[in-house]
Amino acid sequence: MNSFWAILRRDIRLAMRQGGGGGMAVGFFLIVVSILPLGVGPDLNLLARIAPGLLWVALLLSVLLSLDRIFHADYEDGTLDLLATGPLSLTLVVIAKMLAHWITTGLPLVIAAPVLGVLLNLDTQAFLPLMLTMLAGTPALNFLGAIGAALTLGVRRGGLLISLLVLPLYVPVLIFGVGAVNAVLVGPSPFGSPFMILLAITLVSAVISPIAAAAAIRLNLD
């Protein structure tokens, strides 16, 4: 487990030193949320109604923007080859890298979401449900995205291909994340049902994604 924590700390430090990761994702999140009201119009009531959906879509796009950072740099400089032949299981290596990516990218987006919700006139009673659903859903976005990132390791400029592979997998997370927040705002459906389904999606992805991503990495390394 010392090797596991060492990889986790290393990836977090690299993301912070390189200036990308969370800062880039939050900046893109801010730009998307700022532009969307210009297309929708100045109707504050309309913005308040669609704010949960807009915030979730903007967060999803922000996560997509950073997916190639999970494995690509280590694949190019040969670090991934060393990790694959090291004493630590490649599945555990993948888990450490996915967790580091969520801490440096997903968590800052979750923290920024309520602040950006003010720009969309989001009701204050939705702030806590929004953060809870994003805390529950963003790990699934990172875990599922890791599969696409691993599959496209050998492809030059595979960012668009990652989006095409991963976006269909993101649809259930988006539906139940927005549905849970809207349940608080408009009712009458309970918050708990879509939120529990969202947690279930995250748990299933946490089990399947490391195995699938590790298999894809081995395929690309071979």
Domain positions in the chain are 2-221
Over residues 121-142, the pLDDT tens digits come to: 888 888 999 999 999 999 999 9
Would you place residue 188 in the very low, low, confident or very high pLDDT band (cuts 50, 70, 90)? low
pLDDT of residue 153: 83
213 against 160, higher pLDDT: 213
Q: Which tokens is 6 given? A: 């060492």
Rounded Cα distance, 49 and 120, in Å: 9
Q: What are the tens digits of pLDDT across the range 36-47?
A: 878 877 777 888
Q: Residue 14 is encoded by which pair of tokens?
A: 């690299």
Closest CA to 66 of 18, 116, 113, 135: 18
User: Residue 85 pLDDT more than 60?
Assistant: yes
- Residue 173 clears pLDDT 90, i.e. is over it: yes
At 129, list the tokens: 């449900």
Using the predicted structure, report yes or no on whether residue 149 has a pLDDT greater than 80. yes
CA distance 180 to 196: 9
pLDDT band at 18 (very low <50, low <70, confident <90, very high): low
Residue 110 in contact with residue 58, Cβ under 8 Å? no
Residue 178 CA to residue 6 CA, distance in Å, equals 36
- Write the DSSP string, the chain: -HHHHHHHHHHHHHHHHHT-THHHHHHHHHHHHHHHHHHH-S-HHHHHHHHHHHHHHHHHHHHHHTGGGTTHHHHHHTHHHHHHHSSS-HHHHHHHHHHHHIIIIIHHHHHHHHHHHGGGT--GGGHHHHHHHHHHHHHHHHHHHHHHHHHTTTSTTTHHHHHHHHHHHHHHHHHHHHHHHHHHHT-SS-SHHHHHHHHHHHHHHHHHHHHHHHHHHHHHH-
The pLDDT-based confidence of 88 (bands split at 50, 70, 90) is confident
pLDDT beyond 90 at 176: yes
Cβ neighbours around 88 below 10 Å, total: 16
Model pTM? 0.89
